[in-house]
Amino acid sequence: MWGGRFAQRPSDIMQAINASIDVDKRLWREDIRGSKAHAAMLAAQEIITEADNQKIQAGLDQIAAEIEAGTFIFDVGLEDIHLNIEARLTERVGEAGKRLHTGRSRNDQVATDFKLWIMGACDAAADSVRDLQKVLVKRASDHADWVMPGFTHLQTAQPVTLGHHLLAYVEMLERDMMRISGAGGAAGDGCPLGAAALAGTGFPINRHATASALGFLEPAANSLDAVASRDFALQALSALSISGVHLSRLAEEIVLWTSPQFAFARLSDAWSTGSSIMPQKRNPDAAELIRAKAARISANLAALTAIVQKLPLAYAKDLQDDKALSFEAFDAFDLCVRAMSGMMETIAFNRDALREAASKGYSTATDLADWLVRELAMPFREAHHVTGAVVKRAETLGAATLADLPLAEFQKIEPRITEAARALLTVEQSAASRDSYGGTAPVRVREQAALWAERLADDE
Ligand code: ARG
């Protein structure tokens, strides 16, 4: 394709480092779409004849059918998807095929194809995040009043409801979904096609026509920017990477919760793996691999950032490696979200273990302090001190929870504490009392779960 000025063919290693067809063959649909739009525009502008355009359109459709059928032969000697398709087109339609590349270059071609791919991939990723949200909302409303320990520093802090905990992830995933679809939208802003190699072209092309035929908002206004920039891919990988962080945190919780030490939950058989030596094991491999894959998605973002940041304008071949990193990140993300949906759909929670853990560590101490403030008008700092003494007493006497400590013991520390105060110190009462907006009380959780169910249904 470019051998005109060379006497020798490239060395095998040169070809191996240079060829990208094994990776970028995945862009074949976008490449054919882009070429069809370009050829139609060339004909409309009378840069090629309508007869040539017809041959090109039919030839590209046939190539699409060949690739779909698996009969197309990809040739590493032809470097990349662009040259593979163009060479085959010329084989099929002759002269007309050789006119397709008028007024464009592989530099604007690849940027266009890749943007189209990122747009579609972001849409699909956002949809799968939506599906996971639906699963979590369903599980949250089924467990709106199941009490579990809320942690800070992974130390028992205050009782919360399981529904509330699950809805926390629905909120994170909503922002993820917005970031991912925002990244797809940003890729669709400026169409690179027609920027040509870097400087534009002297042919009277109509870039507005190709931009709109391909679903872009407008043509990219600066040809150097159009061929040199990959921030659309950085933005998409950054959105995936942030969402991967959230998936990894939930995965980490699954790993903890399903360990016999916590015993908060059990993964279904379909989402557990066995050990070849220890017959009792039920391992959370999918959750662990979500943690690993999330790390790799962030690493791919870091790699692409490092590739782009040192490049003088405009195009350089370093940019070719943007695709492997992005395809891998999107593939990993897709697996992670779908595995998470599968696990969360069928994970079984253990109500007793959750409740028992919630009661440990004197988790309702703040409720006593709040009562002292509310009913006795005690300043909070003093209430904190009194409650600390009560906790110490419970510990000395070996009372497992504050609700187990006899009233007389409370009254030795603060005589005005009543039976009514003591009755508030169960984990259920504690969670139910936190009914401020955004709080963990079952009434608030049911409200939020209902809002989410409505919102996610509207979205269909
Ligand atoms: N395969 C190349 C890539 O992915 C296409 C652009 C090549 N342009 C060039 N001038 N060699 O970046």
183 in any annotated domain: yes
Which of 20, 25, 108, 320 is the pocket-test mutation for ligand 1 (most atoms within 8 Å of CB)? Answer: 320
Examine the fold and report which residue of 334, 357, 380 is the final residue of a domain before the chain moves on.
357
319 lines ligand 1 (CB under 6 A): yes
106 lines ligand 1 (CB under 6 A): yes
Query: Residue 21 C-alpha to ligand 1 middle, in angstroms?
Result: 11
4 in any annotated domain: no
373, 411: one domain: yes
pLDDT value, residue 151: 96
245, 134: one domain: yes
Query: For ligand 1, atom 1, which residue shows the shortest CA distance?
Result: 80
6 in any annotated domain: no
47, 133: one domain: no
107 lines ligand 1 (CB under 6 A): yes
162, 257: one domain: yes
161, 280: one domain: yes
Looking at 101, 105, 128, 153, which residue is catalytic? 153
Residue 205, classified by CB atoms within 10 Å of its CB into exposed (0-12), middle (13-18) or buried (19+), is buried
Q: Which atom of ligand 1 is nearest to the CA of 315?
A: 10
pLDDT value, residue 361: 86
Q: For the segment 73-96, what is each residue's pLDDT rounded down to a tens digit? A: 999 999 999 999 999 999 999 999
pLDDT value, residue 230: 98
Most distant CA pair in the chain: distance in Å? 101
Q: Which range of residues forms the domain containing residue 386?
A: 359-458
51, 156: one domain: no
CATH at 399: 1.10.40.30
Examine the fold and report which residue of 39, 74, 102 is the final residue of a domain before the chain moves on.
102
CATH at 36: 1.10.275.10
438, 372: one domain: yes
pLDDT value, residue 369: 96
Q: List alpha helices for 214-284, DSSP H.
A: 223-228, 231-257
Query: For ligand 1, atom 4, which residue shows the shortest CA distance?
Result: 320
Q: List alpha helices for 349-441, DSSP H.
A: 351-359, 365-376, 380-397, 407-413, 419-423, 427-433
Task: Find out whether 90 and 32 touch, Cβ atoms under 8 Å.
Answer: no
146, 271: one domain: yes
Neighbours of 14 (CB within 10 A): 10
| Nearest of 37, 38, 33, 17 to residue 80 by alpha carbon | 17
The number of CA neighbours under 13 Å toward the Cβ of 158 is 17
430 in any annotated domain: yes
313, 364: one domain: no
pLDDT value, residue 459: 63
pLDDT value, residue 452: 98
**In degrees to the nearest 10, what's the CA dihedral of 436, 442, 443, 445?**
80
Which of 317, 319, 323 is the pocket-test mutation for ligand 1 (most atoms within 8 Å of CB)? Answer: 317
Residue ranges of the chain with per-residue pLDDT less than 70: 459-460
46, 23: one domain: yes
Is residue 153 part of the annotated active site? The answer reads: yes
CATH at 261: 1.20.200.10
Examine the fold and report which residue of 306, 331, 357 is the final residue of a domain before the chain moves on.
357
pLDDT value, residue 213: 98
Complete DSSP assignment for 321-352: GHHHHHHHHHHHHHHHHHHHHHHHHH-EE-HH
Encoded tokens for 202: 């002297």
Encoded tokens for 231: 């921030």
319 in any annotated domain: yes
Instruction: Specify the DSSP class assigned to residue 406.
Output: -
| Nearest of 421, 247, 413 to residue 334 by alpha carbon | 247
1 in any annotated domain: no
113 lines ligand 1 (CB under 6 A): no
pLDDT value, residue 444: 98
7 in any annotated domain: no
Which of 24, 27, 82, 107 is the pocket-test mutation for ligand 1 (most atoms within 8 Å of CB)? Answer: 107
91, 166: one domain: no
227 lines ligand 1 (CB under 6 A): no
Is residue 436 part of the annotated active site? The answer reads: no
Q: What is the spatial distance between Cα 313 and Cα 316, in angstroms, rounded to a whole number? A: 8
Query: Residue 441 C-alpha to ligand 1 middle, in angstroms?
Result: 57
> How many domains does the structure of the chain reveal?
3
Q: For the segment 311-330, what is each residue's pLDDT rounded down to a tens digit? A: 999 999 999 999 999 999 99
58 in any annotated domain: yes
176, 33: one domain: no
Query: Residue 110 C-alpha to ligand 1 middle, in angstroms?
Result: 7
